[in-house]
Structure 1
Amino acid sequence: MAQAGKGRLNYRCPMCFMRDLDIDMFYDKDKDEYYCIRCQYVGNEEDVLKRNEVVRMKYGSMMKRYKMEDF
């Protein structure tokens, strides 16, 4: 998704991303936290990055072609 000026960086919502939805999070400057308008997830930048790394493990081998020798 394109940057829309919602915050410093656009992060994907980790809860929506687990369900294969690509939803950008909004940034609240007053509370210094990111929030999702679809699933009501709220978290600071560290928490969002940590949860997104866990979700990315799902796609880690997406481009690898497996052969019979691999099993």
Structure 2
Amino acid sequence: MAQSGKGKLNYRCPSCFMRDLDIDMFYDKEKEEYYCLRCCYTGTEEDVKEKNQMARFRYRNMLKRYTTFE
């Protein structure tokens, strides 16, 4: 998904991404937090990074091909 350029760096919304929706978050400079337009998720950059790391853990073996099952 292309970055819209409204903030520093757009991250994927962790709440939407856990439901298999790929939605970019936007940055609010006044509140210094990220927010999602689709759901009501808001959070700091550290919180968003932490939750996105959980999503990476979920999909860590998605591109790995298993040929033997032991």
Q: Could you tell me the TM-score, scaled by structure 1's length?
A: 0.91
How many pairs were matched up? 70
Matched, 1:11 2:11: yes
C-alpha displacement at 1:31, in angstroms? Answer: 0.5
Q: Percent identity?
A: 66
Give the Cα–Cα distance (whole angstroms) in 1 for the partners of residues 54 and 63 of structure 2. 18
Instruction: Report which of the two has the higher share of helix.
Output: 1
| Structure 2 alignment gaps of length 5 or more | none
Report what 1:39 is aligned to. 39
C-alpha displacement at 1:32, in angstroms? Answer: 0.2
Instruction: Report the secondary structure of 1:53's partner residue.
Output: helix
| Structure 1 alignment gaps of length 5 or more | none
For the 8 Å contact 2:14–2:48, the answer to whether it is kept is yes
Listed as ranges, the matches of 1:1-71 within 5 Å are 1-68=1-68, 70-71=69-70
RMSD: 1.0
Q: Could you tell me the TM-score, scaled by structure 2's length?
A: 0.92
